[in-house]
Amino acid sequence: MPTDLPPPGYQLADELTVTTPTQLRAVADPLRAAILDLLLERAATVTDLATAVGRPKGTVAHHVNVLVAAGLLRVVSTRRVRAVEERSYGRTARLFRVGALAQPTARRAALAINGLATAAAEAVAAHEADDLRCGLRHARLPPERAAEFWERVVALLHEFAELPRAGDTVYGFAVGLYPTDHPTLPAD
């Protein structure tokens, strides 16, 4: 998935397919997902990340180590601060895709629902302030068309993640594509 925008201060692959149980557990955790999201902007130290997420450095360091062990983060720079080596961490890819072969269908669905549930919880305040933009549509499609459409959605999600950081408001962008038993009209 090429982009015209520069990487966040370090080189990284365009995408990585997450397939191992270790990787799946790593991306399923909400705090680790937040860390991965923050590192799309730029490389950061554990201290930077702890400040951003409002959690203790020890907690964040543990989660960073889990992500490093899963191959989703890596050290992208180091510097000496007093007598300690300070590491800056970066993602190994811009986009992490959950691989279909790694987990049973129920586990993959739980990973996807996690993101939609997080988005729903975050959207409550925007809904109450009458500042929520959302839509839900249903369409009967063959599976190959759904896959093609999803690729376009992923490109749009990637574009959103690459927007220059500015302003004081953080916006969430949630997407989902799923089979459902929503009613349809009979064939003509």
Q: Summarize pLDDT for 96-120 with one digit per residue, the tens.
A: 877 654 444 544 444 454 566 667 7
Residue 87, beta-bridge partner list? 78
13-161 — its CATH code?
1.10.10.10
Per-residue pLDDT, 58: 95
Contact present, 34 and 40 (Cβ < 8 Å):
no
Whether pTM > 0.75 for this model: the answer is: no
Looking only at the bridges linking them, the beta strands covering 84-91 and 73-81 are antiparallel
Angle value at C-alpha 127, between 122 and 130, nearest 5 degrees: 140
The dihedral over CA atoms of 5, 134, 113, 38, expressed in degrees to the nearest 10, equals: 30
Which structure tokens are listed for 168? 């004081």
Contact present, 69 and 22 (Cβ < 8 Å):
yes
Q: Summarize pLDDT for 5-27 with one digit per residue, the tens.
A: 445 677 888 888 888 888 888 88
Which structure tokens are listed for 100? 């279909």
Contact present, 60 and 50 (Cβ < 8 Å):
yes
Domain boundaries, the chain: 13-161
Per-residue pLDDT, 98: 74
Percentage of the residues of the chain whose pLDDT score is greater than 90: 22
